[in-house]
Amino acid sequence: MADHALIGDVTYRIGRALDDQRLSEVPGLTSELAAIFVRHSRWEEAGLFAQLWQRGEAVEEIVRLEDEHRRLRRSLAAEGLANDVERLRQLLAELAHHAQVEDNDLFPFAMQQLPDACWTELATASVA
């Protein structure tokens, strides 16, 4: 969830840069967001999602969220995204919605389902 706060912060900064017509800042921030999202989504998939999957929990939701991860990673890496303001704003909204679903639905569910040992393992895990 800390990563979601970071993603939310960069998303907000992109929105402000667009609102304030500071367009020269948008490509760098968009690249930053794409890199954070790649790292974060792969961490979720290899960690939290894998833990739930192994226990047969929330399997359909995980398949759906992983599809969304792939689509968001592809869209964030698309050439010219930073210059397509309408598409970028739409993508930022999709990203915010995705994080909201995980924060409000999946993570609370996982907190109930996974034993403490899993959370310790997840907290120290990193993705190569």
Smallest gap, in angstroms, from Cβ of residue 23 to Fe ion? 28
Which residue ranges make up the site for Fe ion (CB under 5 A)?
A: 44, 102
Quote the DSSP letter at residue 127: -
Q: Which residues of 90-119 are buried (b: 16+ CB within 10 A; e: fewer)?
A: ebbeebbebbeebeeebeeebeeebeeebe
Smallest gap, in angstroms, from Cβ of residue 20 to Fe ion? 29
Cβ-based nearer residue to Fe ion, 84 or 105: 105
Cβ-based nearer residue to Fe ion, 16 or 64: 64
Reference 62, options 74, 52, 73; nearest CA is: 52
Cβ-based nearer residue to Fe ion, 22 or 97: 97
Cβ-based nearer residue to Fe ion, 32 or 45: 45
Smallest gap, in angstroms, from Cβ of residue 25 to Fe ion? 25
Which CA distances in Å does 5 have to 34, 39, 40? 15, 14, 11
Smallest gap, in angstroms, from Cβ of residue 37 to Fe ion? 8
